[in-house]
Amino acid sequence: MAVYRRSRRHRFFLVLLALTSVTVLTLDYRGGGDGALESVRQTARDALAPLQSGAEWALSPIIGFFGAIGDFGDLRSENAQLRRQLDAARADAIRGADADRERERLLQLQGLDYAGGLDSVAARVISTAPTNFRLTITIDRGTDARVDVGMPVVTAAGLVGRVTEVSKARSTVLLITDPQSNVGVRLANSGEPGVVRGGGTRNPLALDLIGTEVPVEVGEPVVTSGLERGLYPAQVPVGRVRSTSAAPGALQKEVLVDPSVDLIRLEFVRVLLWTPSP
């Protein structure tokens, strides 16, 4: 009898906790981006920020050590790849010094120094998302530095992502490799518009909406389109075409794009103080 009562009480407690979770889930879902729960979240993030920085500082040798172990396999293949690239680059350098100069002039004419006219805020990457299910990073700037939701985040190499959440001293940036990320782009050579979708960590981006008749070159640069109501300003480099193929009968080409930014080892980024026009 006692055992029976006990397990019933246990189950009651379990149901209570589960229902509380579901209630919070529902409230958060309905509340969208603002609401009481969001401010609880922001307060918690700002409260933990100094502790996190302290822990990061104190544990940095350990982080570096384990980070190095985790990266080892990557580094080896990256090293081999870099050697190959270096060889290729040496050959190219001799062959293409002149062509290079010409290309640079053309790029300048196209206005590819993209962030030129925009104000921006430099930020340090504090951490990647503490989850395996979302590709986000946390940066050490928030509303105090005029950062706001929707702002594009870049490095010198190109597009990193977009600010999705912001508190006083911290912001969350959704990386372009996250499956929920969509970026309006165009191919640099043909000017053909398309949409680049995240394919998960370490995977190339998928470029959609490119018709089978459009010529696409491997290595072709892909930049943001900046079309009206776009989420990003125009002409921010996104990546380069890695491969292209067309299944027979398909309506669009399958184009894969390598991001131009190394999104796994980010340290510093710039937030462009630009929000999409409503």
Q: Residue numbers of the site for another protein (CB under 8 A)?
A: 6, 9-10, 13-14, 17-18, 20-25, 27-29, 37, 40-41, 44-45, 48, 51-52, 55-56, 59, 62-63, 66-67, 70, 127-134, 136, 164-165, 172, 174, 179-180, 200-202, 264
Count of helices and strands (H, E) across the chain:
3, 12
Q: Are 268 and 143 in contact (CB under 8 A)?
A: no
Q: How far apart are CA 227 and CA 186, in angstroms?
A: 10
CB of 66: closest distance to another protein in angstroms? 5
Shortest spacing between CB 60 and another protein, in angstroms:
9
* Beta carbon nearer to another protein, 72 or 98: 72
Q: Using alpha carbons, list the distances in angstroms from residue 263 to 158, 208, 233.
A: 10, 21, 20
Closer to another protein at the Cβ: 13 or 268? 13
Minimum CB separation of residue 88 from another protein in Å reads 27
**Measured between alpha carbons, how far is residue 217 from residues 188, 210, 259 in Å?**
10, 12, 16
CB-wise, 21 or 108, nearer to another protein?
Answer: 21
Of 176, 170, 181, 164, residue with least CA distance to 33: 164
Specify the residue, 72 or 97, whose C-beta has the smaller distance to another protein.
72
CB 137 within 8 A of CB 172: yes
Nearer to another protein, 187 or 196 (CB): 196
Separation CA 212–CA 246 (nearest Å): 7
CB 81, min distance to another protein, A: 18
**Least distance from C-beta 146 to another protein, angstroms?**
21
Cβ proximity to another protein: between 58 and 156 the closer is 58
The torsion of the CA quartet 34, 39, 45, 48, rounded to 10 degrees, works out to: 180
DSSP symbol at 205: E
Closest contact distance (angstroms) between CB of 67 and another protein is: 5
**CA 275-150-173 angle, 5° bins:** 140
Count CA atoms closer than 13 A to 218's CA, side-chain side. Answer: 4
Q: How far is the CB of 107 from another protein (least distance, A)?
A: 33
The helix (run of H) or strand (run of E) holding residue 154 is: strand 152-155
In whole angstroms, what separates CA 157 from the centre of its chain? 13
Q: Which is nearer to another protein, 190 or 203 (CB)?
A: 203
